[in-house]
Each structure stands twice: as C-alpha cells, then as structure tokens.
Amino acid sequence: MDIFDFDGQDAPQASNAPEFSVTEIAQAVKRTVETTFDRVRIRGEISRPNYHRSGHLYLTLKDEKAVIDAVCWRGAVSKLSIRAEEGMEVIVTGKLTTFPGGSKYQVVIESMELAGEGALLKLLEDRRKRLMEEGLFDQDRKLPIPFLPRVIGVVTSPTGAVIRDILHRVSDRFPRHVILWPVAVQGEKAAPDIAKAVRGFNALPAGGSVPRPDVLIVGRGGGSLEDLWGFNEEAVVRAVAESTIPVISAVGHETDTTLIDFVADRRAPTPTGAAEMAVPVRADLLLGIEEFGSRLGRGLQRRVTLARSDLSGLTRGLGDPSRLLHERRQSLDVLDQRLDRALETAIRAQKSRLETLSAKVRHPREKLHRMAEQTSSLGDRLSGASRQRLQTLGQNVQAQRFADRLLQASTRNLTQHKQTLDNAQRLLDSFAKSRDRLLEQGYVWVSSADGEVVPRAGAVTEGMGLKLHFIDGAVDVVAGQGGTPTPPAKPASRPKKPSPPADDQGSLL
C-alpha cells in the first residue's frame, strides 16, 4: 500500500523495513562510494577554480554532460605540477568521496596533469598572448649584452651536459669566471628553482664576497614539451623580465621554443651558442688588435711619406739656404761697420760737450773762498741780529712784568668796585624795604608828572600835576583844585608789626 493512498479507513500496519537516521544513510553512502571508487583518474575541464585563503583549492570538473566538484587540500596544492586555470583540460588523480553536509559527492585531488599535448599547446599560446599584452616581450625592455663580461652566471642542472658545454666553450673562446646556480630543470621543482636562481643572482651586491654576474645564461638540453614546461611557467617568465642583469636563454635545441625565449634579452639556439654570445673569441681579438696595429703602422708610414713630400716641395720654393745665409752674413758685416762709425761719432760728441761744461765750471778753491766770505758776512749779520734780539727780549720781559702788575692792580680795583656796588645794592634793597613799610603804615610819597620826587610843599604850585604813590599804585592829582578837603576818616587801629630781626639794617628815614 502507498502511504499516500490513505482514504480515511483504518491506518496501515507498521512495516518490517529497518529505520535509518540521516547520518547513517550518509555514512553508508560514503563507505559505498569510497569502497567502489577507491582511486580514480578523471578527465575534464576546470571551471571556477578558487584558491581559498586557507590554502585549499576548490574547483569543478565538467564535460559535455556532467559536472563533479573537486577539492585539493593545502598539503597537496603545493605538490601540483601545474596551476589550475579556467578552461584548462586536465586529468586529476584522487579519491571519490561524499560530503554529508551538502548531500553531494566530490573528488579529493592528489595530483593534476594536463590532458594531452594539445591542451599544453593551447595553455602555452593563451599564456603567451596574455604576457605579450602586458608588454613583457617588448624590444625596448631588452638590455644589451656586455662585450666582455668579467663574471658569467649560469642557471642550469649541475649534472647535465649543458654546464660542461658552456664551460668548455667559454674556456676555448675567452676564459672568464663562471658561477653556477644549480637548479632542477624538469619536474615540479623546476619553475620555482629557476625563478629563485634568477632573482638570487640579481640580489647579489656589487663588490660583495660573491661577485655579481655581468650576464646570465638560463638553459637546459632538449626534450619534449612536458620536459621543457618549467621554462614556460609564468613565475620564470616574470623573474627573467624583472632581471636587471642581461639574460641569454638557451633552452632545448634550435627548434624548441619556450616563453623565456620571448622575454630574455637574447635567445641562443643551444647552450653552446649562448656561451658564444656571452664572450668573444680571444684569438680573434688578438688578430684584430694585430691588424689594427699593422694598419696604424702603415698609416703612420704613409703620413710620414706625405709629410716628407710636402717638405720637399716647400724647400724647392724657398731657394738655396746657403745663399740666404751668405746674404745675411754680408748684411751683418755692413751693420757692424755702421755701428763702429756711430760709436766714434757719439764719443766725439760727448767729449766736446764735456769740454764745454768743464770750461763753465769754476775752480773749487775759488768757490771755497767765496763761500768763506759769505759765511763771515752772515756771521756778522747774525751777531748784530742776536744782540738786537736780546735787547728786544729784555724790553719784552720788562713789559711783561709791568703787564702782570697792571693786571693785578686792575683785579684789585675791580674787586673793590664790586664790593662798593654790592654795598650800594644792599643799601637800595634796604631803602626799598623801609619805604614799603612806611607805605603800609599810610604814608605816601609825591612826585611830579615826569616822576621827580617833590619833598617840600613849597615846591608845589597851583595847577601842578602830581602823582600820589600808595602801596598799591599811583593816583594823578592837580595842586590847588577842588573843595575843602574832607577830613579823612580815622583809620582803624592796625596791629603793631613785630620788630625786625637784630641783624636788619633798619630804615634810613
């Protein structure tokens, strides 16, 4: 009976089939799959490769009709010979298992290889186009190979015939110092070893304990596409492109082509050809130097011959040197005779001039006698002048003494006059003080209109203009005019002023 055929009648009786949990079913399926497919090889196209940050690789294998998930654990990822890329056709080897958490099955990859040479060629072409679009193969990136390097670095296997061929060829042509960086040239370790060697040579410092190469040779012998695949890896291509040391690629035979042939600065058909590119032939250089020396000698000889020919032509145009010499000697003789005559003439002229001058010069005795007379006359004049000067000096001394006495008398007279003036000034000051005290007591003094003092009434006439001087000013009046004078009011009693100090001179009035 179907469980969906329940029509409301009595419930069906329990079945005798055993019950399983989900986990038990999942585990049973897992054991069945892993037992049936213990180890498998699956061919398919890679889709959606994902290198997780945990180090695991997740991808999908597909063909025209089916899809299967795949995983490669971190420990196996580092051992893969190729890197998984989208669209790559590969053959993976591993174990088939299930994933109970997702109710699906998957293959655990242990190894991976390309599916046939056609797939390799397609991958190689796709990688070449991508790197070319990045500009890694451009000619302007390539470095010139040095003419005669001091040190040559070689990246190859230490046991193969390549290093022996290179050493032999370098020794035959021009012995140079060669440094070998041993690497694996085939298999899974080839690509990382070669990239590490190229970067290692570039990291050597100039002048260090290990000499830095001037040129690198990266090579190996011939082989199949799979054998040479390490030189097609992107890591190797980028390491060669980043190298600051010129690189010569020498991989396989002349017909073999790898990606480092496009990025290297020079490509050699064979490792032996790379050695020939790295160093010139010493014998050829010596022959060249010898040839240059011979050419230089012939050139110098030809130059000397031409110079002699030019000199001969010039000497023919100059004439006979001996004749020119005789003419110069004759001219010299003529000049010598003229010099003798000129010297005689000059001596005679100087002698005549000397005689004329000597006639004008007086005898020394006469000159001395005349100077004695002049000296005696000057002595007499000097004696008279000295006496007169002494008399004048004596008079001057007396006059100086008189002047001193006169100055002293004048000083005393001035002192006395100054004392007299000081006394008069004190008297005037005392009189002014006494007058002011009288005016303060009510007295006035009378003066005419022109300021003369009028001491007596008899000097006053009727109609005469007078000035009455009070303590605080003057009043103009006319004598004899006006009515009967009104008797002045009795002034209020004023306080008695204190007597002046004992040293006061007092009033003259």
pLDDT digits (tens, 9 = 90+) for 137-162: 888 889 999 999 999 999 999 988 88
Q: What are the phi and psi torsion angles at 470 (to 5°)?
A: -100, 180
- Residue 212's pLDDT band, with cuts at 50, 70 and 90, is very high
Distance, in Å, from the CA atom of 188 to the CA atom of 186, rounded to the nearest integer, reads: 7
- Per-residue pLDDT at 152: 94
Choose between 200 and 286: higher pLDDT: 200
- 217 close to 271: Cβ distance less than 8 angstroms: yes
- Per-residue pLDDT at 5: 43
Most confident by average pLDDT, 78-82, 186-190, 265-269, 313-317: 265-269
- Per-residue pLDDT at 336: 85
Which helix (H) or strand (E) element contains residue 49? strand 40-51
Choose between 397 and 339: higher pLDDT: 339
Pairing status of strand 57-62 against strand 40-51: antiparallel
- Residue 502's pLDDT band, with cuts at 50, 70 and 90, is very low
Average pLDDT rounded to a whole number, residues 403-418: 78
Residue 477 bridge partners (DSSP): 466
Q: Is the pLDDT of residue 437 over 70?
A: yes
- Per-residue pLDDT at 491: 47
Which helix (H) or strand (E) element contains residue 477? strand 473-478
Most confident by average pLDDT, 91-95, 128-132, 153-157, 444-448: 153-157
Exposure on the CB side of residue 334, measured as CA atoms within 13 A: 6
Q: Which has the minimum average pLDDT: 95-104, 202-211, 301-310?
A: 95-104
Q: How far apart are the two ends of the chain, measured CA to CA in Å?
A: 180
* pLDDT, tens only, 242-270: 999 999 998 877 777 888 889 999 999 88
Distance, in Å, from the CA atom of 243 to the CA atom of 217, rounded to the nearest integer, reads: 12
Pick the CATH number of 122-280 from 1.10.472.10, 3.40.50.2300, 3.40.50.2000, 3.40.50.261: 3.40.50.261
Distance, in Å, from the CA atom of 509 to the CA atom of 503, rounded to the nearest integer, reads: 18
Distance, in Å, from the CA atom of 59 to the CA atom of 436, rounded to the nearest integer, reads: 141
Pick the CATH number of 22-114 from 3.40.190.80, 1.20.1050.40, 2.130.10.10, 2.40.50.140: 2.40.50.140
- Per-residue pLDDT at 503: 46
Average pLDDT rounded to a whole number, residues 212-231: 86
Choose between 284 and 508: higher pLDDT: 284
Confidence (pTM): 0.44
